[in-house]
Amino acid sequence: MTPQTEAELAEMIAGASGPLCIQGGGTRGLDADGERLSTRALSGVELYEPGALTLVVKAGTPVAEVEALLASENQRLAFEPMDHRGLLGTDGEPTIGGVIAGNVSGPRRIQAGAARDHLLGVRFVDGSGQAVKNGGRVMKNVTGYDLVKLMCGAHGTLGVLSEVSLKVLPRAEASATVAVEGAGPADAVAAMSAALGSPYDVTGAAYDPEKQTAFVRVEGFADSAAYRCRKLVSELAGFGSPRIEGEDAGLWRGIRDAAAFHGRDGDVWRISVKPSDAVALAPRLQAEALQFDWGGGLIWALVPAGTDLRARVTVPGHATLVRASADTRKRLCVFQPQPGPLAAISDGLRRQFDPKGILNPGLMG
């Protein structure tokens, strides 16, 4: 099913009797069992006001189209959404609705916030076929409950997004990166923590254990980025050998997309923890390869197919199975099961918003 309008989307959901597999670009391999319902025909820009940092687009609009439009005004999606195609070997065109439904956020999440922090408003159709609006197009809005955040990261299980309003931000004039070489995990996390605790407004802090190198990014006006890099080089000298990198766009795209694992066999997990917990946790994961982002707060792990990595995560946080066979995903669940009282709240919300249990059933619990 490929509805052309929100009204058609509502009709289709109201008329559906069996499970639906909600899909944007289909690039994240999150197929639930059920008839495919694609939002890709709900496409187009409704409003773009660069002077108000506001963009309103239909959910099926390709991310590439959104990014090109913003670039034409020297603006961007500050949360730096990942492109899953390289890691998962999928094709198709990622949509903005898919990014929002998954709260997909990249390295800049530590400074600028996640997708949910840039989402100002949504329109969606719930599981009974009712179209609902929440939030709006202005940056400060506390009028009623914030269902905007609830819909962001719900992976289509509470409703199918038809339109999203986003806060966009100016694209920085320059980006510069300090690479701290010769750093083990403990030094790397300490270095990233020192950088993130500095006044230099760090917008990326990642670590590649295979290269024993931590990367710290600053962005802004060219002089400012250069100044902050020099400051960071002197502040991080105790953690390894810091030096200023040349071109860094490819580097951060690779970190964003977990490029280190592209084309390598095995399952890929994404673990969210307190940054300082990453050091002790890393060896316990017994992974074939690891990548750290978010100053240590996000660990990407490559493990042999079928491994239950969650059992090895013994610190507070949660693990998401990003790449695995359909069987493994079924057996281990993509998303970490929640403790009893939280699971009860989540179940209650799903029953309210999807009384027929047809929206991506089983995907989130």
Partner 1 sequence: MEMPSPNPAILARKARLAERLLAVLPGDAVIQDAAETRAYECDALTAYKCPPLLAVLPRNTQEVSDILRICHEEGVPVVPRGAGTSLAGGALPTADCVILGVARMNGVLETDYQNRIIRVQTGRTNLSVSGAVEEEDFFYAPDPSSQLACAIAGNIAMNSGGAHCLKYGVTTNNLLGVTLVMMDGTVVEIGGAHLDAGGLDLLGVICGSEGQLGVVTEATLRILRKPEGARPILVGYDSNEVAGACVSDIIKAGVLPVAIEFMDRPCIEACEAFAKAGYPKCEALLIIEVEGSPAEIDHQLGLIIEIARSHNPVELREAGDADEATRIWLGRKSAFGAMGQINDYMCLDGTIPVSSLPFVLRRIGEMSREFGLDVANVFHAGDGNMHPLILFDANKPGDLETCEAFGAEILKLCVEAGGCLTGEHGVGIEKRDLMLYQYTAEDLEAQLKVKDVFDPKWLLNPAKVFPLSATQDRRDVALAAE
Minimum Å distance from CB 238 to partner 1? 15
DSSP 293-339: EGGGTEEEEEE-TT--GGGG--SSEEEEEEE--HHHHHHH-SSPPPP
Say whether 127 sits in a helix, a strand or coil. coil
- A 10 A CB-CB count for 170 gives 14
Taking the C-alpha atoms of residue 300 and residue 241, their distance in angstroms, rounded to an integer, is 24
Minimum Å distance from CB 263 to partner 1? 27
Amino acid at 138: V
Nearer to partner 1, 92 or 317 (CB): 317
Number of residues that bind partner 1 (CB under 8 A): 82
Amino acid at 293: D
Q: Is 204 in the site for partner 1 (CB under 8 A)?
A: no
- A 10 A CB-CB count for 85 gives 18
Contacts of 131 (CB under 8 A, 6+ apart): 6, 7, 9, 10, 123, 124, 125, 162
Nearer to partner 1, 273 or 324 (CB): 273
* Whether the Cβ atoms of residue 129 and residue 3 lie closer than 8 Å to each other: no
Q: Is 146 in the site for partner 1 (CB under 8 A)?
A: yes
Nearer to partner 1, 330 or 351 (CB): 351
Q: Which residue in 140, 249, 250, 265 binds partner 1 (CB under 8 A)?
A: 140
Nearer to partner 1, 26 or 159 (CB): 159
Q: Is 169 in the site for partner 1 (CB under 8 A)?
A: yes
Residue found under tokens 């002197």 = 234
Nearer to partner 1, 92 or 362 (CB): 362
Q: Is 346 in the site for partner 1 (CB under 8 A)?
A: yes
- A 10 A CB-CB count for 316 gives 9
Tell me which residues in 316-335 interact with partner 1 (CB under 8 A). Answer: 316-318, 320, 335
Tell me which residues in 246-285 interact with partner 1 (CB under 8 A). Answer: 272-276
Nearer to partner 1, 10 or 42 (CB): 10
Tell me which residues in 205-234 interact with partner 1 (CB under 8 A). Answer: 220-221, 223-224, 227
Q: Which residue in 15, 17, 144, 234 binds partner 1 (CB under 8 A)?
A: 144
